[in-house]
Amino acid sequence: MHQPVQKKSAIIFWLLALLDVVGIAAKIELLHFIAKPLLMPVLMLLVYFTRSTVPGKGLLLTGLFFSWLGDVFLLFEYKYPLFFIFGLVSFLTTHIFYIVYFLRIRSGNSSLLKKQPVFIALVLAYGITLVWQLYPHLGDLKLPVMVYAAVICSMLLCSLHVFLKVNKQAAWFYLCGALFFVLSDSLLAINKFYQPFAYAGVFIMLTYCAAQFFIVSGYIQQDNS
């Protein structure tokens, strides 16, 4: 895909994200219900039509598809509480596909985690601390949330693992994407299980959109080495 088309797709994505955030902040449900389900399809089209020699396009597209499913399930969570579980499973699947995508990146360069194992300890400490804080409030969802936390922390570790295996711009895009995903999911969990906070939906959505956009940008940038 030519750069002008990529830029237009990026603009459309962030316009939709802005509309969605406005819908959340102003409590305009119709705007939220229209904009949110269009976000991932725009990124999927961006990835699909990007000509790239980087392997794993199918994995990335499948991850984005399950993210779209998760978005739709969470839209209707207020009507059907079970949809939260379906959304959780959908995003869990997304992270698994992203993990496989990262692990398929091959390079003669060493893993950043081998050079700096302290990052493993930091990520594990964060995940354990978050679950420990949430645990008394999770009810029947203790096990699913613990599994989810383990998987998303693994996804973050995988982005650190490939940091030195791709070009610098792609590496930072992947890492920022993974970090924003952890932040978004952490905010969602804190707001839902621990303590609701002002404009939670806005912050969750902004960090989520940034996460997906950066991961896709990493894929695009990786081919420009």
113-136 confidence digits (pLDDT tens): 999 999 999 999 999 999 999 999
Report the pLDDT value the prediction gives residue 79, as an integer from 0 to 100. Answer: 87
Both tokens of 225, joined, read: 């080495």
83/76 Cα distance (integer angstroms):
7
18/93 Cα distance (integer angstroms):
26
Report the pLDDT value the prediction gives residue 1, as an integer from 0 to 100. Answer: 56
pLDDT, averaged in runs of 10, over the chain (225 residues): 76 97 96 97 94 91 98 92 94 98 93 96 98 96 96 98 96 98 97 94 97 97 74
Answer yes or no: are the C-beta atoms of 92 and 155 closer than 8 Å. no
Report the pLDDT value the prediction gives residue 224, as an integer from 0 to 100. Answer: 62
55-90 confidence digits (pLDDT tens): 899 999 999 999 999 999 999 998 888 999 999 999
Sign for the CA dihedral angle at 210, 219, 50, 61 comes to negative
Report the pLDDT value the prediction gives residue 53, as an integer from 0 to 100. Answer: 84
Say whether 80 sits in a helix, a strand or coil.
coil
Answer yes or no: are the C-beta atoms of 112 and 163 closer than 8 Å. yes
